[in-house]
Structure 1
Amino acid sequence: MPPKITVLIVDDHPIARAGIRAVIEQADDMEVAGEAQDGDEAMRLVEQLRPNVLLLDLKMPGVRAWEVEKWARENYPEIAALVLTGHDRDFYLARMVEAGVAGYLDKNEHPERLLANIRAAARGETLFTQEQLQRVLQWQQTAGRKWDSLTERERQVARLLVEGKSDSAIAEALEIQQRTASSHVSSLLKKLELDSRQEAMAWLVKHIPEMSDDL
């Protein structure tokens, strides 16, 4: 008998982890290697347990899901990762595809379908639909291109803009001169091809959902 597929469940909701565990335990050919409630714990358990498949929730405390996957791909490329989420936004889908996950699944997935996807990922298959890949390409060529052109400081300014802060408040938050803050705002607007702060706020909330996740 071949060895069982080992799965590490990563989700910050205990009830969700219990539900996923119950589904996996129905299968004779796989087992739960462990559970993690955030990205930091996931990375520790990956090092310790070396599971075959990493089943990632998208939004959780600590290290973000795509950062966990990038780290796993660099250090343990033999481990396949699947995202199981209720957040079907192009930004998140693109980030996870770029990070190297094998599939991006809906949390409403039928249990048997989830098990089939875990088996496929363990075999080295990728599970993206053509529609998902087209969405990723579209996002990368439009909003993604603009977002990736911003510097880290401009992204910090972007988050503060979404919070509704003025240039003086941005300067105070980042401990910089107000004229420097104003310069960052102007540069951000130019790169996003927008004319006003209000347009920037609306664009960021629409295309970069992580900007408003914590508001």
Structure 2
Amino acid sequence: MSEVKRVFLADDHALLRSGLRLLIDNQPDLEVVGEAGDGNETLAQVKNLAPDVILLDINMPGLDGLKTLPKLRALVPESRVLILTMHDDVSYLQEALQAGAAGYVLKQAVDTELLMAIRAVLRGERTVHPTMTQKLLESMADQPQTSPLNPWENLSEREHDVLRLVALGYTNGEIADELFISVKTVETYRARGMEKLDVQTRAQLVKSALKHDILDESGKT
């Protein structure tokens, strides 16, 4: 009988973790050895547990998944990190892969796809959800040869939409309604987008948006 591989779950949704635990523990070659709801708790647990695979969400309170990832790679370099997220923006995929993720799977994936991804990274392979692979290829084809002078061009489409609405005075709740996403997701895009623009306040964001004619754009919701 082959060795049972150890899996750690890092996601702030307890219900999702329960479902993942049930799915994984029903596999003869996999077992869940621990779980956490945020990045700091994940780091505290994995050092002693030494899991073979860590399923890591991006949206988590405190230390989010993309900030936790490089710390995990330094703390438990032998563990393979598989991002499991709802974010289908290429910028998140690129950042995750650059930080050492072994794979990137969307939460919309069916159970068999997730299990295949777990086993793929255990074999030392890299795996990316097919939808994201296509988006990555399209992004690479469209990428300019030189870095853009307009920092807004470094934003993902969602980050751009969220920050434009913030600059226009929308609240997080209003943006969530406008873009049909959760308030928590708005907060994530807002924080990461402002970090990319190197602005800390809404006033600085508005100044940047005006400078680069973002508020005059048409066709944005």
Higher percent of residues as helix: 1
Separation in 1 of the partners of 2:22 and 2:54? 16
- Alpha-carbon deviation of 1:62? 1.4
Instruction: Structure 1: give runs of 5+ residues left out of the alignment.
Output: 171-181, 207-215
- Alpha-carbon deviation of 1:158? 2.2
Normalized against structure 2, the TM-score is what? 0.66
1:125-159: CA deviations, max 9, x gaps? 0012542442564687567x94799xxxx848624
- Give the alignment of 1:164-203 within 5 angstroms: 165=203, 189=208, 196=211, 199=214
Q: Which residue of 2 aligns with 1:125?
A: 125
Separation in 1 of the partners of 2:153 and 2:39? 23
- Alpha-carbon deviation of 1:200? 7.5
- Alpha-carbon deviation of 1:63? 1.2
Separation in 2 of the partners of 1:201 and 1:77? 47
Q: Which residue of 2 aligns with 1:67?
A: 67
Amino acid at match of 2:60: M
Separation in 2 of the partners of 1:82 and 1:76? 14
Separation in 2 of the partners of 1:197 and 1:48? 49
- Alpha-carbon deviation of 1:64? 1.9
Q: Is residue 94–residue 139 contact of structure 1 (8 Å, CA) maintained in 2?
A: no
1:10-66: CA deviations, max 9, x gaps? 010110100111110120000001000000011111112110001011101111212
Amino acid at match of 1:23: L
- Alpha-carbon deviation of 1:91? 2.4
Q: Which residue of 2 aligns with 1:158?
A: 199
Q: Percent identity, aligned pairs only? A: 32
Separation in 2 of the partners of 1:132 and 1:31? 32
